[in-house]
Amino acid sequence: MKKFWQEWRGVILFIAFVMTGFLVIYKLGIIDSFNVAELSQVVRDMGIWGQLLYVVTYILRPLVLFPATPLTLFGGYTFGAVQGTILDVIGAGTGALLAFWIARKLGKDKIERLIQGKKLEKFDHKLVENGFLVILYLRLIPLFPFDSINYSMGLSSVRTRDYVAATYLGIIPGAFTLNFLGSSLGRLDWKFYTAIALYAIMILLPFIVKKIKK
């Protein structure tokens, strides 16, 4: 038991930290107490510091498993589609790298021992060979949980450079779509319906490509 604790304590303590943050946010009703319009105005009034606060919040977001979509919509609502997308890509991309780095430092060697000689090991090798394309695909399709990709890829043997490049490139379309949608919230105009259409296309894209290939 002592040996198990010494080997896995980093992972256990990190999971405990994440779950504690998650429970604090949701059990105390912190999200429900926010007035989006008022909070958005406060952030805008802060100027460059408000933008920096948004980016830092997005970077630290994976540590408490706060959902990415509401934060992205808030960015579009507060900063507009273009500026919100830029801040989102910086914050979300860096946050994804933070989660990737934590998972790699705490658990990669342990996972390698667990999957040695199993089918998962073959998949891990494929990630080494085609990591960029695999991650790019996962990033482009909004159906895949963002944080699950971050942490699971950190536990894999995918090259860091492939992960970084595919992450920053792959999140741009989704970031723009959600920020565009966020910028149109509160009014049912052409921007709102266009954003909904773009998001639907992103979801249906893999099925469309598969149909064309057939």
DSSP letter assigned to residue 208: H
Least confident interval from 89-98, 121-130, 173-182: 121-130
Average pLDDT over residues 74-101: 91
pLDDT at 187: 66
Q: What is the pLDDT of residues 169-191, one digit of tens each?
A: 989 988 998 898 888 776 666 77
pLDDT at 115: 45
Residue 149 phi/psi, 5-degree rounding, is: -65, -45
CA distance 106 to 52: 28
pLDDT at 20: 62
Average pLDDT over residues 5-20: 53
Burial label, 196 (beta-carbon count in 10 A; 0-12, 13-18, 19+): middle
pTM (predicted TM-score): 0.74
Q: Could you tell me the two tokens for 24?
A: 């604090």
- Check if the beta carbon of residue 167 is closer than 8 Å to that of residue 93: yes
Domain-wise residue ranges, the chain: 34-213
- Check if the beta carbon of residue 154 is closer than 8 Å to that of residue 99: yes
Which residue would you say has higher pLDDT here, 128 or 114? 128
Rg over CA atoms, the chain: 19
Q: Could you tell me the two tokens for 145?
A: 């949980």
Cβ neighbours for 31, distance < 8 A, ≥ 6 positions apart: 25, 70
Which residue would you say has higher pLDDT here, 20 or 29? 20
On average, the pLDDT of the chain sits at 76
pLDDT classification of 167: cutoffs 50, 70, 90? very high
- For 148-186, b/e burial (b = at least 16 CB within 10 A) is ebbbbbbbbbbeeebbbebbbbbbbbbbbbbbbbbbbbe
pLDDT at 24: 54
pLDDT classification of 124: cutoffs 50, 70, 90? low
Burial label, 141 (beta-carbon count in 10 A; 0-12, 13-18, 19+): middle
Question: Of 204, 17, 175, which Cα lies nearest the Cα of 96?
Answer: 175
pLDDT at 208 over 70: no
pLDDT classification of 32: cutoffs 50, 70, 90? low
